[in-house]
Structure 1
Amino acid sequence: MSDSSSTATLVAILRAEIARLVPGDRLPSSRDLTGRHGVSPVTVSRAFALLAAEGAVVTRPGSGTYVAPRRTRAGIDVPDTSWQAVALAGRNLDLGDADGPSGGLPDGVIAMAGGYLHESLQPTRALGAALARAARRPNAWDRAPTAGLAPLRAIFARLAGSTVSPEDVLVTGGGQGALSMVFRAIAAPGSPILVESPTYPGALAAARAAGLRPVPVPMDDDGTRPDLLADAFAMTGARLLYCQPTFHNPTGTVLAPARRREVVDVARAAGAFLVEDDFARHLGHGGPVPRALVADDRDGTVIHLTSLTKPASPSLRIGAVIARGPVMRRLQGMRLVEDFFIARPLQEAAIELVSTPAWDRHLRALSTALRERCTALAEALAREVPDWTISRLPAGGLHLWVQLPPGAADSATADAARAYGVALNSGSRFFPSEPPSTWLRLGFAAAAGPAELAEGARRLKVAAGADR
């Protein structure tokens, strides 16, 4: 019998014996077990080590091995995983929550947190029909190309601008995964990454998970300040900038036309990549949407990220990276290492969805609904909490960026709001370093409608009073 099978057999025997004992009971000694089961002392040592790692036993040098205390949760034995604190030491990711709660909210809580559409705003019927048609396509369940299906790559290229070709597109599993992949592909652990301040918390989480150091670049009403951006590149030697030029999360800012070319030029002069997160291109409120930075980029400075998730459904995890040159080959190589390809049925469903008139109708209806909700929430806040200052009424996106009055703490306000049945995001998590003042991000797309947003504002008035 091999050593591994002997160890597994002994572990099974000891588990059965442990089940009959109570915490604190002593197990047979190594000598007893070697004689009783005809195994070597090494096999006994390995078996005890495995059981200790599971939390089933505790070994006391010079005394023996004992049944460990049983931790229970709802009547179910829970192993002791405290040993993992030692095994994981040295890498504290501190990821937090990328963009709001991952699960559903309790009944009665009004959703002003997170970054997804309420079910009533999602094209549910069109999605179902698209998925049904996709499943009937020839070869729908075959392996997809690493870069993505050609028709879907062509769609993303056309959305980005006439200068982008399908060969510049890599289909991804949504925007967040693409963000993480791009950061890890470009910058080595320990490197600086320049980010707007404030910025999307999911980008900060992805950067820190990749071992990068986020360095803030201040913004004003026209977006990223090119002068301070150039200073940040010079001081840090960074080779990577992450920004959201269109309907910035959380502020709603649109990078001014005069600055759009200048920001790209500053990055190019520094020999750096500019990662353009274009998550909100389909979330405009009815006005013109600026041309993507990548559309005017000729030398591969801009890496463009986009996704169908935000304007459609949280579960339509389909996005794209647009890049040119060696960096695209590197990204394709990472795709092969990580997951080979994006599930073909989902890609086929995305093609079906965006190729029908129903998609255009959905985007027009969504634009109107977002504008109405944005206005409704802004008016309700002005009425109920007039000392809260809305930074701007955004022309796109899903959120209002609200400054609290002096002396108010964002975390305490968020906790008080939750106690009164409103979930929102405290502003400090959007800053890569100390925030200059106190902010909240309030979403208007995840609630059921304008009436619920008005009720949320009334609850916030009570919560704000209780917090004082």
Structure 2
Amino acid sequence: MHNDIGESADGSEVARGRGGGQAGIVDELTALCARLPAGSALPSTRELQRRHRASALTVQRALAAVATRGLLVTMPGRGSVVARPPASRSTDLSWQTAVLGARDDLPHDMTELYSPVPDGVLDLASAYLDPAAQPVGLLAAAAARAARRPGAWDRTPVAGLPDLRGLIAGLVSPSHTASDVLVTSGGQAALALVFRALGRPGEALAVEHTTYPGALAAARAAGLVPVPVPADAAGVRPDDLADVLGRSGARLVYLQPRHANPTGAVLAPDRRPAVLAALRDHRAFCVEDDWVAPLDLTAVSPPPLAAADPDGHVVHVLSLSKSVSPGLRIAAVSARGPVAARLARVRITDDLFVAPVLQQTAVELLSTPGWRRHLASLRRVLLARRAALLAAIARALPTLAPPQPPSGGVHVWLPLPPGADDRLVTAAARRAGVAVGPGSAYTVGEAVAPHLRLTYSRTPGEGLVAAVDRLAAVLSDG
């Protein structure tokens, strides 16, 4: 069969066949669709009949065959044109997490994850501030004033000092009052208290699939059964939360709406009403862990869920340790209604009350003008460290750069190459002098993809760069 060159309807050159029947027409149209831009006009039915000496029926069959492969479409008044390629659809396997439930090997012992890092090891595992970033001068002055206060060494109300409770209520929302607040010895103690008070052994606790392992340990110590809920960069998915609440019968939910540990996700404003609606519809409580409330870095996060919940579904937990110092073991639980009385009753069996001198230190710290200056300085420090860490990742591990850098908090959730074992990578990194968090320690069910948690609050910028270089060497060694 001879070929010569003709023109298509848009003027481009095409191979003109003589004969060949339906197969020849299909071949020509397929070649055109592969070469021409989407929307380009293809030869008309009459032109194809003439070129291939074929009947109208043969041409129509050939056009239909190519159309079924998604290569062309017929436009009224225009004839056939090259089809646009189908829009790429990202794979979403996260729905499986809610169906599969929690893993059987969730860690019970938190000792390994939270042991201090040895000297000489670059610490990208701890979320506490290094001494250089802590307001040591402010703390020393506040503690000195607190120690001289009347009653600093005496007993105090179980719920905490009224002044401190009032200051913390103002951090939660304008509508919260001191009577809503119960002071505790740190955020971990607050979570343990809430899970014991609001859950019964054997009951389900709905949690984001990737979450804080300290919360999982406290929940399991209270006898609760974690049930994973799919979440993404915009936080927990309200429809999936409602589905899990309905299927599991859970009446208690644990969420981190602001700079979630470890992913850094912030619950999107348009999801918040639906989350609150799911709680109302299923008559459930939500433990809102606001662990880094003042640490917005590049964008202002929405107010706490508790601020939009007048009906007492949200029990808010706020901690000062991450933004001040690990030694300031002060946190608070804010709750409304009968649940507040239950929390106070259960809490008294723990430690009666938080040392008044420590509470008064927090009052002095939060009341001084230096507190706001400290937060502004701390945000600048963390922003610089975050930039150094992300730049080092982009340089040394360009294919693993996180798709959405965190807008606040202290963590980067680093994807690993497909098939990598995060625990083996973590162990190898430790041998190379870098401490990181294995992603599987933060997942309730099977991980969709392997990750590491890298923290930038404990190590200055040059240390973060060196740590990424060592981590890159570990990954290159396989």
**Structure-2 residue corresponding to 1:223:** 235
Q: Does residue 310 of the first structure (1) align with residue 357 of the second (2)?
A: no
**Structure-2 residue corresponding to 1:434:** 446
**Structure-2 residue corresponding to 1:284:** 296
Kindly indicate whether the alpha-carbon contact (under 8 Å) linking 1:274 and 1:302 is maintained by their aligned counterparts in 2: yes
Q: Does residue 342 of the first structure (1) align with residue 386 of the second (2)?
A: no
2:110 to 90, 97, 114: 97
Pairing of 1:314-463 with structure 2 (within 5 A)? 314-447=326-459, 449-463=460-474
**Structure-2 residue corresponding to 1:205:** 217
Kindly indicate whether the alpha-carbon contact (under 8 Å) linking 2:390 and 2:401 is maintained by their aligned counterparts in 1: no
Task: Name stretches of at least 5 consecutive residues in structure 2 with no aligned partner.
Answer: 1-104
Aligned-pair distance for 1:415? 0.9
**Structure-1 residue corresponding to 2:132:** 120
Aligned-pair distance for 1:96? 2.7
**Structure-1 residue corresponding to 2:144:** 132
Deviation beyond 4 Å, 4+ runs, structure 1:
none
Q: Aligned letter for 1:151?
A: D
**Structure-2 residue corresponding to 1:237:** 249
| Partner Cα distance (1:318, 1:149) in 2 | 12
| CA shift digits 1:105-140 (9 cap, x unpaired) | 222110000211111110011111111110001121
Q: Does residue 270 of the first structure (1) align with residue 282 of the second (2)?
A: yes
| Partner Cα distance (2:350, 2:469) in 1 | 47
**Structure-2 residue corresponding to 1:259:** 271
Q: Aligned letter for 1:168?
A: D
Aligned-pair distance for 1:225? 0.5
**Structure-2 residue corresponding to 1:171:** 183
| CA shift digits 1:176-227 (9 cap, x unpaired) | 0000100010110010000001001111111111111100000122111011
| Partner Cα distance (1:461, 1:219) in 2 | 28
| Partner Cα distance (1:253, 1:309) in 2 | 20
| Partner Cα distance (1:94, 1:374) in 2 | 29
| Partner Cα distance (2:431, 2:379) in 1 | 32
| CA shift digits 1:152-195 (9 cap, x unpaired) | 00000001111111100001111100001000101100100000
| SS at 1:387 equivalent | helix
| CA shift digits 1:31-82 (9 cap, x unpaired) | xxxxxxxxxxxxxxxxxxxxxxxxxxxxxxxxxxxxxxxxxxxxxxxxxxxx
Aligned-pair distance for 1:309? 0.6
Kindly indicate whether the alpha-carbon contact (under 8 Å) linking 1:240 and 1:274 is maintained by their aligned counterparts in 2: yes
Aligned-pair distance for 1:406? 1.2
Q: Aligned letter for 1:108?
A: G
TM-score by length of 2: 0.77
TM-score by length of 1: 0.78
Kindly indicate whether the alpha-carbon contact (under 8 Å) linking 2:106 and 2:441 is maintained by their aligned counterparts in 1: no
Kindly indicate whether the alpha-carbon contact (under 8 Å) linking 1:428 and 1:439 is maintained by their aligned counterparts in 2: yes
Q: Aligned letter for 2:272?
A: R
| Partner Cα distance (1:189, 1:98) in 2 | 23
| CA shift digits 1:79-99 (9 cap, x unpaired) | xxxxxxxxxxxxx99423279
| Partner Cα distance (1:195, 1:99) in 2 | 22
1:151 to 163, 172, 175: 163
| Partner Cα distance (1:232, 1:99) in 2 | 31
Q: Aligned letter for 2:321?
A: T
| CA shift digits 1:406-460 (9 cap, x unpaired) | 121101111111111000000001111111110110001111x111111111111
| CA shift digits 1:272-298 (9 cap, x unpaired) | 101100011122215323111111111
Kindly indicate whether the alpha-carbon contact (under 8 Å) linking 1:392 and 1:400 is maintained by their aligned counterparts in 2: no
Kindly indicate whether the alpha-carbon contact (under 8 Å) linking 1:385 and 1:461 is maintained by their aligned counterparts in 2: yes
| Partner Cα distance (2:298, 2:164) in 1 | 26
Provide the identity percentage.
Answer: 48
| Partner Cα distance (1:290, 1:259) in 2 | 11
Aligned-pair distance for 1:305? 0.2
| SS at 2:474 equivalent | helix
| Partner Cα distance (1:98, 1:339) in 2 | 22
| SS at 2:166 equivalent | helix
Kindly indicate whether the alpha-carbon contact (under 8 Å) linking 1:196 and 1:219 is maintained by their aligned counterparts in 2: yes
Q: CA RMSD in A?
A: 1.4
| CA shift digits 1:348-404 (9 cap, x unpaired) | 000011110111110000111111111110110111122323142111111100111
Distance 1:370 1:93, change over 3 A: closer
Task: Name stretches of at least 5 consecutive residues in structure 1 with no aligned partner.
Answer: 1-91
Distance 1:207 1:112, change over 3 A: same
| Partner Cα distance (1:454, 1:272) in 2 | 44
| Partner Cα distance (1:240, 1:299) in 2 | 15
Count of aligned positions: 374
Distance 1:454 1:94, change over 3 A: closer
Pairing of 1:11-50 with structure 2 (within 5 A)? none
| SS at 1:315 equivalent | coil
Distance 1:128 1:423, change over 3 A: same
| SS at 2:211 equivalent | coil
| SS at 1:441 equivalent | strand
Q: Aligned letter for 1:298?
A: P
| CA shift digits 1:327-346 (9 cap, x unpaired) | 11011001222211111000
Aligned-pair distance for 1:310? 0.6
